[in-house]
Structure 1
Amino acid sequence: MLDLSESRAQIDVIDKEITRLFQKRIDVCRDVAAYKIQNNKKVLDKTRENQKLEALSKLAEDGFKEHGICDLFTQVMAICRKRQYQIMKEEGVAQPVPFDCVDEIDKINATVVFQGVEGAYSHAASMAYFGDLATYFHVPNFEEVMKAVANKEADFGVLPLENSSAGQVGDVYDLLTRYDNTIVGEYYLPVRHCLLGLKGADIDKIQTVYSHPQGLMQCGKFLNEHSSWQQISQANTAMAAQKVIKENNPKTAAIASETAAKLYGLEILEEGINDNKTNTTRFIIVSRKKCYRRDASKISIMFEIPHESGSLYTILSHMIYNDLNMTKIESRPIPEQPFEYRFFVDFEGNLADAAVENAILGIKEEAARLKILGNY
């Protein structure tokens, strides 16, 4: 009969030896890093790693052990790379992140652009973030917001990035990739949708309802109770309210805010119609200046990776080994590369933190593309 204590004792001896050799391997990384620094070589040498895995796999006694050896040494080499990145940072050979640290984001007398018209939720978020000391103007779509900021027509742009009920605003994620604007702030706006109609309109006689696609989506249960209504999308909720005014038809209604009702003289036929009563939209504030507040605590990045097994884990492991807390991850298709995706990640930290600098260096070296979207 097998003695479990004896087997465990053998494992303890083996594990101690593995630990000793692993630490010795990590120590050799300093010499490897010194050579690569001196000869201006990249830390990741994919050809060398593949050759190493192939040679080690041949030492396996069976298929199960072969797979295990590949997994084990893939992680060992990844950990050793991370040590080399730390050494590069310690030696001062890593390029600094091209962002300026500031005490405050200058909101006073700022020119702010938002998508839609007055009364839209973007307008409300802009006013809440910047207050009465800013000058505001609106444009018809999200890309015009990014263009206005990039072309110096506005100091800041306000864009919805995600909603707690409907999820991401994909177009805005894509624009963050295409434009060189930087996220410098965010604002969480509680969303309370209302059904708006002309003065004296009867909810039982409504036939058509207008709203932004996400506004319609966020009121799905309410609209299902009125399944005979035709649902027509608009560029934003405030423009839906404007359309009801323009058509002057008591059989039409809009899903928009209470602010829009007051602004355009519409009657609230029913309020609080969104499915999720804690419905909230996260807005980002973008600037063409690459800067971050000294007390910034959230970082957003975008990266593209090789389309191969384990590549996403390899990138995210740079956060794990630097004790960084990832708070969000999203993916978006890369249009010119069918069925391949770029990833958007939020994590806690400040660009001045050593752990963040190490993680960014590793991701930059190993991703096909990295863009720091902002620290705020």
Structure 2
Amino acid sequence: MDLGVLRDQIDDIDKQIIRLFEERMDVAEQVARYKIGCGKPVYDPVRERSKIERAKDMATSSFNARGVETLFNQLMAISRVRQYELVAEAHQDNFGFEECNGDHVGAKVAFQGVEGAYGHQATLGYFGKDVECYHVKTFEDVMKEVHEGRADYGVLPVENSSTGIITDVYDLMHLYDNYIVGEYVVKVEHALLGLPGTEIDQIKTVYSHPQGLLQCSRFLDEKPEWEQVSLQNTAVSAQKVLVEQDRTQAAIASPAAAAIYSLSVLKEKISDNDNNSTRFIIIRHKKEYVKGADGISISFELANAHETGSLYHALGFIIYNSLNMTKIESRPIQGDKWRYRFFIDFDGNIGEAPVQDALRGMAQETINFKILGNYIQVE
């Protein structure tokens, strides 16, 4: 048979498919209105699984059965997206988040480390040099200070451009009922710091945060005789060198820390990456966002994590609402072998209908879903 004739046949079949698809969507909308009226959930996984199995049984080959399964999974996903849109139209809400003016006047802010740490720099950069701020020992201490009301805001690092995410902070965001209200990026300029008058040849031990040591690995590899010791913070390392007054000790920290702790910069710009930067989040115990917020962070787990396409269908709500996903990370769930919690960033404002549609769909079709925050993104 002529190829042109075959293509004409496919065109005719496609027209029929489109007509039947639109008829199906009309009925799906009627189903949605019925569910809205009686308060039934959009997603009925038992019925959908049963219907897909029946549809597969109608196929004439195992290959076609797999295709039918994929096709009907997509049809039902698209149908649910439309139904969630109708639910959103009937029940508009911002998921408990309130719009605010972003006024930080009089705020008290907690950061991890000591003065001169990159967290301290992020705090001053975001809130201004006159902010009332104080340091705590650990990332979790920052979370607790904010959660228990002793601090209005907290500042925490979440990602470095060279070494990736700060996993501890991701895990803490799930554990504590705090929310991201802003972000700030600090350019990391690691330097080797020592007591005034110290020569590099005198150094035997180098202190820094584990990330600081990792981010300067090429420089440190040239000095295999140096002992590398991890401390809880880069500025704490500088402080230790000052207090112990030992010329065999050095710290990897910022030039700002050198100025604060009266140390000399023995060698500047020792990072592996000249464009090394760390992204910090600003957290608060209130669900709030500013009018211009354009980035949303969420976390969730999959109810059927090992079922084919489960993650794809969860992310489908972002795709179908024409939203741009900018980041996805996963973290193992403690005590639950081979199960993971997903962290997603995407563009949008929680007051926008497409964002609400996506959030509503994912909230209903995943477990332990949490909106981590809506904030202005920093390029």
Common topology (TM > 0.5): yes
Quote the residue 2:311 is aligned against. Answer: 312
- Give the unaligned 5+ runs of structure 1: none
Structure 1 residue 60 displacement after superposition: 1.1
Alignment partner of 1:274 is 2:258:
no
Q: Aligned to 1:286, what secondary structure does the other structure show?
A: strand
Moved more, 240-249 or 43-52: 240-249
Match of 2:96 among 91, 95, 98: 98
Contact 2:94 2:351 in 1 (8 A): no
2:220 corresponds to which residue? Answer: 223
User: C-alpha displacement at 1:106, in angstroms?
Assistant: 1.9
Question: What SS does the aligned partner of 2:129 have?
Answer: helix
Question: Runs of 4 or more off by more than 4 Å in structure 1?
Answer: none
Residue 105 of structure 1 contacts residue 293 of structure 1 at CA under 8 Å; is this kept in 2? yes
Q: For residue 198 of structure 2, what is the aligned residue in structure 1?
A: 201
In structure 1, what is the Cα distance between the partners aligned to 2:130 and 2:259?
Answer: 22
- Post-superposition Cα deviations, 1:194-232, rounded to whole Å, max 9, x if no partner, equal 000111111123111110000011101111111221111
CA contact (8 A) 1:160 1:284 kept: yes
Query: How far did residue 95 of structure 1 move?
Result: 5.3
Structure 1 residues 133, 246: closer, same or farther in 2, change over 3 A? closer
Verify the 8 A CA contact 1:115 1:140 in the aligned structure 2: yes
TM-score (norm 2): 0.96
Whether 2:164 is the aligned partner of 1:167: answer: yes
Counterpart in the other structure of 2:132? 135
Matched, 1:360 2:348: no
1:40 aligns with 2:51: no
Q: Secondary structure at the match of 2:54?
A: helix
Q: 1:109 touches 1:133 (CA, 8 Å); kept in 2? A: no
How far apart in 1 are the matches of 2:141 and 2:198?
35
CA contact (8 A) 1:108 1:133 kept: no
Secondary structure at the aligned position of 1:136 is classed as strand
CA shift for structure 1 position 126: 0.3
Equivalent residue, structure 2, for 1:246? 243
Long gaps (5+) in structure 2: none
Q: Is the 8 A contact 2:94 2:350 kept in 1?
A: no
Whole-angstrom CA distance in 2 between matches of 1:55 and 1:119: 65
| Residue 302 (1) aligns with residue 299 (2) | yes
SS in 1 for 2:128: helix
Q: TM-score, normalised on structure 1? A: 0.97
Structure 1 residues 51-200: aligned runs within 5 Å? 51-92=50-91, 96-102=94-100, 104-200=101-197
Find the aligned partners of 1:75 and 1:328 in 2 and give their Cα distance. 24
For 1:235, which of 232, 237, 248 is the aligned residue?
232
For residues 136 and 49 of structure 1, the distance between their equivalents in structure 2, rounded to whole angstroms, comes to 53
